[in-house]
Amino acid sequence: MATPNFPKPAPGSQNSNTIAAQYARAKALKDAEGKPKTAPAASAKQQKSTAERLNEVKKERFMSEWWWVLGAFVWFLFIHVTGLYYFTKGFLLTRLVLEEHSACAVPPIAPITSFKGIGTVEAGCWHPKTFDKAVVVIIDALRYDFTIPFTNQSEAQAYHNSLPILYDTAISQPQNAFLLPFIADPPTTTLQRLKGLTTGTLPTFIDAGSNFAGEAIEEDNLLMRLKEEGKRMVHLGDDTWTALFPGYFEEGISKAYPSLNVYDLHTLDNGVLEHIMPLLREKEKKEQWDVMFAHFLGVDHAGHRYGPNHPAMTAKLQQMNTVVGDLIDSVDDDTLLVIMGDHGMDSKGDHGGESDDEVQAALWMYSKKGIFGRTDPAFVTPPATAKIRPVQQIDLLPTLSLLLGLPIPFNNLGKPIEEAFAGKNGNDRGNLAAVTRMAAAGIKRYQAAYYAARGIETSTAEGSPHDLWETAEKTLVKGGVKDKMFRDPYLAFSAYQEETLRICRDLWARFDVPSMILGVGILAAGVLSLMLYANTNSDDEDSIEDLELERAEQQMELEVFAKGAEPVEAETTSRDMVRTAAIGTALGVATGPIFRILMGGDSLLNFGLAPGAIGGLIGVLGQEGKGRMKVTNPFPKTFWGWLAATFTISQSIGFASNSYTIWEDSILLFFLTTFGVAAAVKSLRLEKIADRTLGVYHSGAFIALGWLASFSKLCREEQMPYCRSTYYATANSSTSAPWQLLIPFVLAGFLPSIIKSYYAGSRSYEGFAPVWIGWVFRGGLVLSAIFWTLDAADDAEWFPNLPSGLLKNIRVPIAQTILAIALGAGTTAFIYAPPCVSITTIPGASTSASQPVPAKATVTILGFANVHGTRYLLLVLNILLTLLLVQKPMGFGALSLMTWQSLSLLELLDLTSLTTSPIGPITLALLSSFHFFKTGHQATLASIQWESAFIPLHSILYPYSPILVALNSYGAQILGVVFLPLIILWKQKPKKRGILRSLIAALAWHVAYFATISLATTMWAGHLRRHLMLYRIFCPKFMSAAAALVLVDLFGIAVALTGVRWNSGSVGEIFGWG
């Protein structure tokens, strides 16, 4: 608060009550006082217009400078995206897709025994066929332990013992049915699984990103073989199939349903059921198809929405149990029935990764022919856990192909499933050897083609596939065709298949190392230039607060300007940097085609982007380097600089270890508490007892609130058993507990008051602030709280009598209203709002008539001392309101605590004069990274809260759905970067100089933290690319850090920088430009 006292010559008109008019009036008083009393009126007028012109020039300078700053951060974004692009291109695994297809008449090897009709689909292309027709049913996310009995009743979960029919039939009719664990290759998303199941090969990681939109499979696959051999296919259910296999299915009888609405458990399943039974039972319809693919999603959606341990899951599994019973009754003797899960689900019902629960699905096959057998009588009982006798999901493809008499698709790497070919009595070893050899020969043919295409030498060493194949062929020759001896060839060919599969898994971890190094190099140079940019623009010392000096400076500036001199040189180095970067990039891009000609191949984009980025980086680094040749000490100069560097660097190093990656949330709490303690220690050194007390109070609040937030946990699997999830009602659910629903209501009451208390410190709760914070913001919070209550009511079916969908129809408009308030009205309000000040003029107290001197009036401006900060905070609150809506109730609490902590951080930095130190922006970055975890996220694919896409929407809507998921996932980081300008703006008076300069230094430090973390995780992921935990830990962490970096860049540009422009504009228009 400041109350400048202006001497008063005349009261002037007091009608206008806008702040601008009030301030102009007050300013006029001051100017009139400033000039010597003897000066003629004309001179005064001229000086005044000089001041106005100077103000104009300053405004223009700010605006044009702002554009250069914007350019600088856009360039950094470009560098980050380019670096990440090259790394990702080399890192996310690629597999060469071969064009070759298998053909019915061309087996990879002549069969051991010929048979009648060989080479025709009627008898069997490569092996005598067993079935004419097949019904393949996928129950999405059917985990193996859903299907086997669980005897301990007291510990049984909702998903136990609800789908017993698969197990029971396998035991009671072993020749008709068998049940086995069915292990998926990660990534365990439905799209990737369907690719793996139909092509028999291992999908590579790069496809994981395309979960939202499938693409047609070009590789040889089961459906391609079926189509070529004239089989008619019908499809029901999940529309991922039609995206992967467009034009394959019989029109009219096929029916696809949208698959991504996880809130809807029944529409798709009921649709499938409506169509499947007529197709199986009605004679006329039965003749229209040969192979049916039906894909149920209810189990998967129940998992995503409620988690596996929920009555909805029990109901869904019981429904599936009935469905299986009906299917058994409906199929005829010549039809094979296959029921399987494409992947499992983790303890919360999500999937995507490679944890045991996610990869362990179930496979059950059934036929009325009674041809299934076991090579050991003990195998009749299905395995008790998925670790015993599992089959790989790629094994289904050769099994189905040979049973249906089809050629095995060209890229297959699986082997036929023993139970399907061992014969009724489990002793038909001749058959087993024949099918295994045929599949192995296919693999050998594929391997040879792949090696030829890639130019890899085949090893002939002992134990190599080549050697194993030779051995297998020898055992075959020795053993002749006698059944007893056939055990050896079967095992020998199996060994060949297993070794080849192992090698292929390794091989497809083929990384493009030069591209990865290029990406890392660009990112590293980007971090360096960002830090140099931050450093050149940071102030070495705090400007001294001296009103007299300031006034004298202003006066001098005015005089110099009146003589016609340009005011001052550019405020920041952005202009030079952007120019150099642009020239460098242009030159670099120009050399791109030359590189392309020299090195050949690849797309022009790849050859233009890298030289462009490198050219710009060389230019910027060269320029920065030249300017600071004399600076020899690259280390931080202050304790706080060291602290910031320690936090960032030790964390970066820590990401090389899976433990520190897993426990990142605890480490961040540790660092934040460390900062809080250091700030408390620093505060104790302050001179004034009031400052000391405030400093200790805010440090304490900062620490305590962070600690409180640390109770919101969503544990990742690797943290078990040392972690207990609290984010949802139970560890096995993804719905909030009733008490958690109170959090938003409580905060709707408290949070605005807490924010108000931070305004009160500088008497800034004036102007627009009471309306916006006390009413609009609070109203938005209440609506949010109501939204989440309705959501919970819908989930738990509190009101079973209400028509279904009614609650959804009520809450979606509520969410839309909140967004309209926060983003629509909020932005408009922010642009046009006056600063949070109140100006009062108390007329001079001319009490005494005898007084000869004119009485003085006092102009009081409440909130003057924090004009910039309090106004900008309104923008932060709008963003906060948006982010709070898309968080679950616990996340709502976490982000509110983060806001409170950030406000205390501002006060602390101000008290300890650390606003221009890197520690502020870095602590804020740590804080936002910490709350990423506290809003129920982890650096894993499974923790993405996909359902947030539906908060204000009824169905998937591009581009809004992905944006909502991003706002949910990175809400804390977004809030952090939007909050960041306050470190500079908080408690700054109008006309404060160098705001933009300090701001870009702060923003650059903040971004530098995320860029460093991103660089480190990139490097480690690249370096540890053969690590066992790559896809479980390092790769997800790298992706999560990269996404955070890009989002922080984007929101820094779009909200923080842009917001400051409007904010400074508004303040400058009224109080003049600094």
Partner 1 sequence: MPLIDPVTMSSTTASPKASSPIEVLPKDISRIVSQAHPALLLAAYYMRFPSFVVDPVSTLLSSLLPLAVIQIGYTVICLPPAGTSTKATKKPKPGASKKGLETPTSGPLTAFIALTLTILSSPILFAIQILFGAPLTTHLPHTILSSLHIALLTIFPLVYVHGTDAGKWREIASFYSPIDEVFGGAVGCLLGAWMGAVPIPLDWDREWQKWPVTIVTGAYMGYVAGILVGAWLLKGKRIELD
Residue 659 within binding range of partner 1, rule CB under 8 A = yes
Residue number, 431 or 725, with CB nearest to partner 1: 725
Residue 802 within binding range of partner 1, rule CB under 8 A = no
The answer to whether the beta carbons of residues 362 and 143 sit under 8 Å apart is yes
Residue number, 120 or 666, with CB nearest to partner 1: 666
Residue 453 within binding range of partner 1, rule CB under 8 A = no
Residue 1016 within binding range of partner 1, rule CB under 8 A = no
Residue 656 within binding range of partner 1, rule CB under 8 A = no
Q: Which of 561, 663, 1010, 1034 binds partner 1 (CB under 8 A)?
A: 663
- Residues 6 or more apart whose Cβ sits within 8 Å of residue 67: none
The answer to whether the beta carbons of residues 625 and 592 sit under 8 Å apart is no
Q: Candidates 345-353, 447-455, 702-710, 974-982 — which segment interacts with partner 1 by CB under 8 A?
A: 702-710
Write down the least CB distance from residue 978 to partner 1, Å: 28
Residue number, 572 or 658, with CB nearest to partner 1: 658
Q: Candidates 55-63, 106-114, 261-269, 651-659 — which segment interacts with partner 1 by CB under 8 A?
A: 651-659
Residue number, 140 or 907, with CB nearest to partner 1: 907
Q: Can you tell me the distance from the alpha carbon of 1003 to that of 92, in angstroms, rounded to the nearest whole number?
A: 31
The answer to whether the beta carbons of residues 148 and 198 sit under 8 Å apart is no
DSSP string, 396-439: HHHHHHHHTTPPPPTT------HHHHS-TTS--HHHHHHHHHHH
Read off the amino acid at residue 99. E
At 336, give phi and psi (nearest 5°).
-90, 135
The SS3 assignment for 651 reads helix
Strand-strand pairing, 838-842 and 360-366? unpaired
Read off the amino acid at residue 945. Q
At 295, give phi and psi (nearest 5°).
-130, 110
Strand-strand pairing, 360-366 and 177-183? antiparallel
Q: Can you tell me the distance from the alpha carbon of 896 to that of 745, in angstroms, rounded to the nearest whole number?
A: 12
Q: Candidates 9-17, 668-676, 745-753, 1050-1058 — which segment interacts with partner 1 by CB under 8 A?
A: 668-676
Question: Which position has the token pair 């909502």?
Answer: 964
Residue number, 475 or 904, with CB nearest to partner 1: 904
Q: Candidates 151-159, 213-221, 608-616, 633-641 — which segment interacts with partner 1 by CB under 8 A?
A: 633-641
Q: Which of 167, 296, 469, 640 binds partner 1 (CB under 8 A)?
A: 640
Distances (CA, A) of 439 to 108, 411, 417, 435, 1022: 9, 11, 11, 6, 35
Residue number, 175 or 657, with CB nearest to partner 1: 657
Q: Candidates 218-226, 350-358, 586-594, 656-664 — which segment interacts with partner 1 by CB under 8 A?
A: 656-664
Write down the least CB distance from residue 734 to partner 1, Å: 24
HSE of 165, CA atoms in CB hemisphere, 13 A: 16
Residue number, 670 or 775, with CB nearest to partner 1: 670
Phi-psi region of 799 (alpha: psi -120 to 50; beta: other; left: phi over 0): beta
Write down the least CB distance from residue 475 to partner 1, Å: 43
Read off the amino acid at residue 1036. P
Residue 704 within binding range of partner 1, rule CB under 8 A = yes
Write down the least CB distance from residue 335 to partner 1, Å: 50
Residue 678 within binding range of partner 1, rule CB under 8 A = yes
Write down the least CB distance from residue 658 to partner 1, Å: 7
Residue number, 112 or 704, with CB nearest to partner 1: 704
Write down the least CB distance from residue 1031 to partner 1, Å: 17
Structure tokens belonging to residue 115: 């048979």
- Residues 6 or more apart whose Cβ sits within 8 Å of residue 239: 256, 257, 258, 259
Residue 686 within binding range of partner 1, rule CB under 8 A = yes
Residue number, 611 or 676, with CB nearest to partner 1: 676
Structure tokens belonging to residue 458: 């085949």
Q: Candidates 314-322, 568-576, 666-674, 897-905 — which segment interacts with partner 1 by CB under 8 A?
A: 666-674
Residue 667 within binding range of partner 1, rule CB under 8 A = yes
Write down the least CB distance from residue 707 to partner 1, Å: 5
Q: Can you tell me the distance from the alpha carbon of 624 to that of 529, in angstroms, rounded to the nearest whole number?
A: 8
Q: Which of 138, 233, 589, 669 binds partner 1 (CB under 8 A)?
A: 669
DSSP string, 792-810: HHHHHTS-TTSPTTHHHHH
Q: Which of 657, 726, 817, 1058 binds partner 1 (CB under 8 A)?
A: 657
HSE of 836, CA atoms in CB hemisphere, 13 A: 34
Write down the least CB distance from residue 721 to partner 1, Å: 12
Read off the amino acid at residue 660. Y
Residue 684 within binding range of partner 1, rule CB under 8 A = yes
Segment holding 471, helix H or strand E: helix 465-479
Q: Can you tell me the distance from the alpha carbon of 196 to that of 412, in angstroms, rounded to the nearest whole number?
A: 9
Structure tokens belonging to residue 497: 């298949």
Q: What is the dihedral of CA 1052, 1055, 1061, 1067, to 10 degrees?
A: -120
Write down the least CB distance from residue 690 to partner 1, Å: 12
Where in 114-250 does DSSP place strands (E)? Answer: 133-139, 177-183, 233-238
* Contact track, partner 1, 583-622, x by CB under 8 A: ----------------------------------------
Q: Which of 94, 554, 591, 673 binds partner 1 (CB under 8 A)?
A: 673
How many residues touch partner 1 under the rule CB under 8 A: the total is 28
Residue number, 1005 or 1073, with CB nearest to partner 1: 1005
CA 1014 to chain centre: 14
Residue 726 within binding range of partner 1, rule CB under 8 A = no
Q: Can you tell me the distance from the alpha carbon of 561 to that of 4, in angstroms, rounded to the nearest whole number?
A: 25
Q: What is the dihedral of CA 678, 683, 686, 691, to 10 degrees?
A: 170
Residue 938 within binding range of partner 1, rule CB under 8 A = no
233 by Cβ neighbours in 10 Å (0-12 / 13-18 / 19+) ranks as: buried
Q: Which of 638, 693, 757, 809 binds partner 1 (CB under 8 A)?
A: 638
Residue 703 within binding range of partner 1, rule CB under 8 A = yes
Residue number, 392 or 683, with CB nearest to partner 1: 683
Residue 677 within binding range of partner 1, rule CB under 8 A = yes
Q: Which of 94, 318, 330, 674 binds partner 1 (CB under 8 A)?
A: 674
Segment holding 339, helix H or strand E: strand 335-340
The answer to whether the beta carbons of residues 918 and 644 sit under 8 Å apart is yes
Residue 670 within binding range of partner 1, rule CB under 8 A = yes
Q: Candidates 31-39, 289-297, 427-435, 680-688 — which segment interacts with partner 1 by CB under 8 A?
A: 680-688
Write down the least CB distance from residue 898 to partner 1, Å: 17
Residue 697 within binding range of partner 1, rule CB under 8 A = no
1037 by Cβ neighbours in 10 Å (0-12 / 13-18 / 19+) ranks as: buried
DSSP state of 380: G
Read off the amino acid at residue 112. I
Residue 681 within binding range of partner 1, rule CB under 8 A = yes
Residue 707 within binding range of partner 1, rule CB under 8 A = yes
Q: Which of 639, 775, 798, 799 binds partner 1 (CB under 8 A)?
A: 639
Q: Which of 682, 763, 871, 1032 binds partner 1 (CB under 8 A)?
A: 682
Q: Which of 120, 321, 554, 666 binds partner 1 (CB under 8 A)?
A: 666
Residue 687 within binding range of partner 1, rule CB under 8 A = yes
Q: Candidates 301-309, 455-463, 676-684, 948-956 — which segment interacts with partner 1 by CB under 8 A?
A: 676-684
Structure tokens belonging to residue 878: 């709008």
HSE of 13, CA atoms in CB hemisphere, 13 A: 6
Which positions touch partner 1 (CB under 8 A)? 638-640, 657-660, 662-663, 666-667, 669-670, 673-674, 677-678, 681-682, 684-687, 692, 703-704, 707, 710
